[in-house]
Structure 1
Amino acid sequence: MLISKKINLPYIGRNNKGIKKLAKEYGVTGVIVVSAKRISFHLENKEFFYHPGMAKLRIKEMLKGKTDQMVKSMDICPGDAILDCTLGLGSDALVASYAAGPYGTVTGLESSLLIELLVREGLAEMRDEGETLMTRAAERITTLNSHHLEFLTNTPDGTYDTVYFDPMFRHCIKGSPYMDAMRPLTDHSPLNCLVLQEALRVCRKRVVVKEKKGSTEFTRLGIHRVDGGKYSPVAFGIIIKRGGGHG
């Protein structure tokens, strides 16, 4: 009942009815299901629920002393305040939060109300699982349902150390039922120079944009420094703020 109030949608008891039958009965294409196990979104035959993705493996690799390319590109230091403008599934936010340590913070923006809700609740459930590196990282993430340009415009200069963008759904994995369920909920619009100008104003150190390796987006946006692993399919465009410290 509380979830339905948060997103201003009617609460309907299932009464042992299947998802397809409920959707047909109420004339809807998507259904949010709240159970004791989790909150999930069902679209036709596809289901989306929160999952940390590769974050756990990436953190384990960092514990072994390996370099995470995103963390390196973002130049994350202990205690950093990070703004993730495209939260999505929150996997990058978890890794960034771990890298920033116990005194760091991550604010994650998600323009889709439903995705933000599912990720927020998923992170909250993760915090209840016990004391681990992942749960502590989850505790330091604040999620907000907001479009990044609106948020940036209303944020004072130099509020965050690093501002990060990963417009992942413009190049979503084809044929993935999990991603297909999310696709209709996401903002597919590309970044623009105004957004980057605002991000540069709001950051203290740098702005980082994640894209496919070889993407023409970096050229279009005027980003000249691009880093990435030799065999990685992704690359990171970096804009250093003048006087922002590390190069």
Structure 2
Amino acid sequence: MKTIVTTAGRTNELFIEKAQAIAAELSLPYINRQKKSVKALQERYNTDVLVVSKERLEFYAIGTNAPFFFHPNSAAFRLKRLLKGEPDLFLEATNLKRGNSFFDTTAGLCSDSIIAAYATGDSGTIYACEVNQIIAYIVSAGLKSYETDFVKLKTCMQNVNLVHMNAMEALKAAESNSYDVVYMDPMFEELIEESSNFEILRSIGHHYSLTIDWVEEAKRVAKQRVVVKAHFRSGLFENFGFHRLIRQSSKFHYGIIEI
């Protein structure tokens, strides 16, 4: 048993039914909480735990006490800076314009896809894939239901179409020259983000090394450019033919392949 679904400690019939529906949707077992702690459930069933509460979905990987949950994370701060007219390195690298289409092959928390949605506007298309089923489900639900008074952020989140799929499978299913920009931010090297939620994401997410097949498929699907984000010490820029955008004060760099 890999993951069980349960409710918060204090719950009601509405959220019990919601948790049961989510369990059925994900083909996972539902377990009655019965006032047990998350740790007790992890130990009893030797499994991860997905908790359905009023506020949000929380995923507790076995052996951990801190949950993974959806939050706009750095996207909210970046969007506020953009609205003030400040630059964003990601948008400089992708060169996204109104009406463009963007394919994020490594969605995670969708922070970059949210910013891409701002750049491309309502006429743009944002497609993102995430290989981990639980992460994809939590983030997809959060993009649709996260409560905020920041109207622009909410609009951008709702314009992201996130699916549970492996990057290579998603790319192979796409037609040639079908997206203006194809993007990848593989989590297999040194830690770049420093938020606690990102550290949890990194610990539970799938780690794949960039491959020549991945890059070639991205080049086939992209109309304008393929963009990669990686630690500044990474060798993948040179290894796969990316033109590196160097930022002296940044822990990460972007690489570009023009189509």
TM-score by length of 1: 0.90
- Residue 19 of structure 1 corresponds to 38
- Pick closer, same or farther for the CA change 1:67–1:179 going to 2, 3 Å: closer
Over the aligned positions, Cα root-mean-square deviation in angstroms equals 1.9
- Residue 161 of structure 2 corresponds to 142
- Residue 106 of structure 1 corresponds to 126
**Structure having greater relative contact order (Cα 8 Å, sep ≥ 6):** 1
The separation in 2 between residues aligned to 1:175 and 1:57, in whole angstroms, is: 14
Is 1:221–2:240 an aligned residue pair? yes
- Residue 172 of structure 2 corresponds to 153
Shift in Å, 1:172: 3.2
Task: Note the alpha carbon deviations across 1:29-85, whole angstroms, 9 max, x for none.
Answer: x11100111101112222111111111111111111111010111010001110000
The separation in 2 between residues aligned to 1:159 and 1:115, in whole angstroms, is: 26
Shift in Å, 1:214: 3.3
* Structure 2 unmatched ranges of 5 or more: 1-19
Q: Which amino acid in 2 is paired with 1:24?
A: E
- Pick closer, same or farther for the CA change 1:24–1:172 going to 2, 3 Å: same
Partner residue of 2:223 out of 200, 204, 207? 204
* Structure 1 unmatched ranges of 5 or more: 242-247
- Residue 53 of structure 1 corresponds to 73
Alignment of 1:1-247 (within 5 A): 1-28=20-47, 30-43=48-61, 44-126=64-146, 129=148, 132-172=151-191, 178-223=197-242, 225-241=243-259
The answer to whether the 8 Å contact 2:241/2:257 transfers is no
List structure 1 runs of 4+ shifted beyond 4 angstroms: 128-131, 173-177
The answer to whether the 8 Å contact 1:205/1:240 transfers is yes
**Counterpart secondary structure, 1:107:** strand
The separation in 2 between residues aligned to 1:177 and 1:102, in whole angstroms, is: 32
How many pairs align? Answer: 238
Task: Note the alpha carbon deviations across 1:121-143, whole angstroms, 9 max, x for none.
Answer: 111112x5467000110111000
The separation in 1 between residues aligned to 2:86 and 2:194, in whole angstroms, is: 31
